[in-house]
Homo-oligomer: A and B are copies of this chain.
Amino acid sequence: MTEIDILISEVGPRDGLQSIQTIMPTAAKKAWVAAEAAAGVQEIEVGSFVPPKLLPQMADTAEIVTYARTIPGLTVAALVPNLKGAENAIRAGAHKISLPLSVSETHSKANLRKTHQQVLDEVRAIVALLNSLPPDQRPGFEGSLSTAFGCTLEGPVPATKVTEMARKLIEAGCDEVGLSDTTGMANPRQLQHLIRLVRSEVGADKLTGVHLHNTRGLGLANILAALDEGITTVDSSLGGLGGCPYAPGASGNIVTEDLAFMLDSMGIRTGVDLEKLIAGRNIVTGALPDEPMYGFTPDAGLPKGYTPGGWGIDS
Chain A residues close to B by CB (< 8 Å): 149-160, 183-190, 193-194, 214-218, 220-221, 223-225, 244, 246-251, 255, 258, 261-262, 265-267, 292, 294-297, 299-300, 303-306, 310-313, 315
Interface of A is mostly: loop
A188 neighbours in B (Cβ, 8 Å): 224, 262, 266
A297 neighbours in B (Cβ, 8 Å): 216-217
Chain B CB within 10 A, most for which of A261, A266, A294, A300 = A300
A303 neighbours in B (Cβ, 8 Å): 150, 155-156, 183, 185, 216
Task: Report yes or no: B221 in contact with A223, Cβ–Cβ below 8 A.
Answer: yes
What is the CA–CA distance of A158 and B297 in the complex, to the nearest angstrom?
22
What is the CA–CA distance of A83 and B258 in the complex, to the nearest angstrom?
41
What is the CA–CA distance of A188 and B225 in the complex, to the nearest angstrom?
11
Chain B CB within 10 A, most for which of A150, A152, A184, A294 = A150
Candidates B186, B189, B218, B292; contact of A248 at CB < 8 Å = B292
A153 neighbours in B (Cβ, 8 Å): 304
Candidates B156, B262, B315; contact of A187 at CB < 8 Å = B262
Known A150-B303, A152-B304, A300-B250; judge A312-B217 contact (CB<8 A): no
Task: Report yes or no: A159 in contact with B312, Cβ–Cβ below 8 A.
Answer: yes
What is the CA–CA distance of A140 and B216 in the complex, to the nearest angstrom?
35
What is the CA–CA distance of A311 and B312 in the complex, to the nearest angstrom?
34
Q: Which residue of B lies closest to A263 (CB)?
A: B187
Task: Report yes or no: B225 in contact with A150, Cβ–Cβ below 8 A.
Answer: no
Q: Distance in Å from the Cβ of A205 to the closest Cβ of chain B?
A: 24
What is the CA–CA distance of A265 and B190 in the complex, to the nearest angstrom?
9
Task: Report yes or no: A248 in contact with B294, Cβ–Cβ below 8 A.
Answer: yes
Task: Report yes or no: A187 in contact with B296, Cβ–Cβ below 8 A.
Answer: no
A244 neighbours in B (Cβ, 8 Å): 300
What is the CA–CA distance of A224 and B226 in the complex, to the nearest angstrom?
12
Candidates B149, B155, B216, B262; contact of A261 at CB < 8 Å = B216
What is the CA–CA distance of A76 and B217 in the complex, to the nearest angstrom?
28
The 6 closest A-B pairs by CB, nearest first: A249-B249, A155-B305, A217-B296, A246-B299, A217-B258, A187-B265
Task: Report yes or no: B311 in contact with A156, Cβ–Cβ below 8 A.
Answer: yes
Known A304-B155, A311-B156; judge A294-B249 contact (CB<8 A): yes
5 further interface pairs, Cβ-Cβ under 8 Å (given A217-B296, A218-B220, A221-B224): A152-B304, A155-B304, A159-B315, A190-B312, A216-B297
Candidates B246, B266, B300, B315; contact of A160 at CB < 8 Å = B315
Chain B CB within 10 A, most for which of A194, A225, A313 = A313
A224 neighbours in B (Cβ, 8 Å): 188, 221, 224-225
What is the CA–CA distance of A298 and B151 in the complex, to the nearest angstrom?
18
What is the CA–CA distance of A216 and B159 in the complex, to the nearest angstrom?
33
Q: Which residue of B lies closest to A303 (CB)?
A: B185
Task: Report yes or no: B246 in contact with A216, Cβ–Cβ below 8 A.
Answer: no
